[in-house]
């Protein structure tokens, strides 16, 4: 089985934020994601990671939480100064917390100028943060209407254009299904660009079990092909508590 990470922004929400690290380790996760860690003290996060022997896989850019504002702005023409200012803040958090990946959110935008802006910002970010791995993630139009990066083929073209060794594709199986329908075909076409994997149930984004996509076969394929990255659980638990739905992991009995 792959190494699993828990997205603590979506899992264990029945607990306060810092208690989620303990719960994730108890459930058998070896790593975590925190999409927006900016409201917590970095020292508290580091203590929680160290106490539970967890690695921090990913945080999102921009800070802070996007509630009430655009979901990213790396592709928004005219927002270059804001993006660069906030990317530097994200980079400080990533360095302090030892985050392996920073996901750069494109935001709501359309057209050739948005693409040019996104490419320019990605080139700039990749250049000033050469020791930090970065990702971009296609997100479906239903979950984020108007989001610029809404197609895996578009993401592949942009990655080829930027051509930065520290910029990779973030492959979310749920979004791949919602955008393209055939997750396996999408994976086969773009897996050479993938630097991080996220999973969620299809079609409802609950636990990754059942439904039209064969997750056990997917995990077996990752093992057989030597994928050595983390697979992050990014979904909305269907039960009252997260551990009650973790049978899909196959790691240990759940409470």
Residue 231 lies in a domain: yes
Residue 135 lies in a domain: yes
Q: What is the pLDDT of residue 71?
A: 78
Residue 161 lies in a domain: yes
Q: What is the pLDDT of residue 255?
A: 43
57: helix, strand or coil: strand
Q: What is the pLDDT of residue 68?
A: 62
What's phi and psi for 249, nearest 5 deg?
A: -70, -30
Active-site annotation, residues? 137, 234
Residue 255 lies in a domain: no
Residues 6 or more apart whose Cβ sits within 8 Å of residue 90: 59, 60, 61, 62, 63, 102
Q: What is the pLDDT of residue 63?
A: 74
Residue 254 lies in a domain: no
Residue 239 lies in a domain: yes
Q: Which two tokens stand for residue 131?
A: 């020791």
Q: What is the pLDDT of residue 66?
A: 59
Q: What CATH number did the domain enclosing 148 receive?
A: 3.20.20.150
Q: What is the pLDDT of residue 67?
A: 59
Q: What is the pLDDT of residue 129?
A: 98
Q: What is the pLDDT of residue 251?
A: 41
CA–CA separation, 67 vs 182, rounded Å?
A: 31
State how far Cα 37 lies from the chain centre.
Answer: 13
- Split into its structural domains, the chain has a count of 1
Q: What is the pLDDT of residue 109?
A: 95
Range of the domain at 208: 3-249
Residue 137 lies in a domain: yes
Q: Are strands 31-33 and 3-7 parallel, antiparallel or unpaired?
A: parallel
pLDDT (tens digit, 9 = 90+) per residue, 194-226?
999 999 999 999 999 989 999 999 999 999 999
pTM: 0.94
CA–CA separation, 74 vs 109, rounded Å?
A: 9
Residue spans of alpha helices (H) in the chain = 19-27, 42-52, 80-97, 112-128, 152-162, 173-180, 183-190, 215-224
Residues of the chain with pLDDT under 50: 251-255
What's phi and psi for 232, nearest 5 deg?
A: -100, 130
Q: Is the peptide bond before 64 cis (omega within 30 degrees of 0)?
A: yes
Q: Which two tokens stand for residue 230?
A: 């983390």
């Amino acid at each position: 089985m792959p190494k699993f990470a828990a997205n603590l922004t979506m899992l264990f929400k029945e607990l306060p934020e810092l208690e989620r690290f303990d719960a994730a380790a108890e459930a058998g996760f070896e790593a975590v994601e925190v999409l927006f860690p900016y409201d917590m003290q970095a020292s508290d996060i580091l203590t929680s990671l160290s106490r539970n022997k967890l690695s921090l896989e990913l945080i999102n850019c921009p800070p802070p939480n996007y509630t009430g504002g655009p979901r990213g702005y790396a592709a928004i023409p005219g927002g270059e100064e804001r993006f660069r200012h906030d990317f530097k803040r994200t980079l400080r958090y990533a360095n302090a917390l030892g985050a392996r990946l920073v996901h750069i959110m494109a935001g709501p935008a359309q057209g050739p100028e948005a693409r040019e802006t996104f490419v320019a910002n990605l080139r700039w970010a990749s250049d000033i943060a050469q020791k930090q791995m970065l990702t971009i993630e296609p997100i479906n139009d239903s979950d984020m209407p108007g989001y610029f990066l809404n197609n895996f083929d578009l993401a592949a073209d942009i990655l080829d254009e930027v051509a930065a060794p520290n910029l990779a594709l973030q492959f979310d199986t749920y979004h791949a299904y919602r955008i393209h329908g055939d997750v396996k075909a999408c994976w086969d076409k773009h897996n050479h660009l993938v630097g991080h994997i996220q999973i969620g149930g299809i079609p409802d984004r609950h636990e990754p079990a059942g439904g039209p996509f064969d997750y056990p076969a997917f995990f077996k394929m990752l093992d057989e092909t030597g994928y050595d990255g983390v697979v992050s659980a990014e979904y909305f638990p269907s039960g009252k508590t997260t551990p009650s739905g973790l049978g899909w992991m196959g790691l240990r009995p759940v409470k």
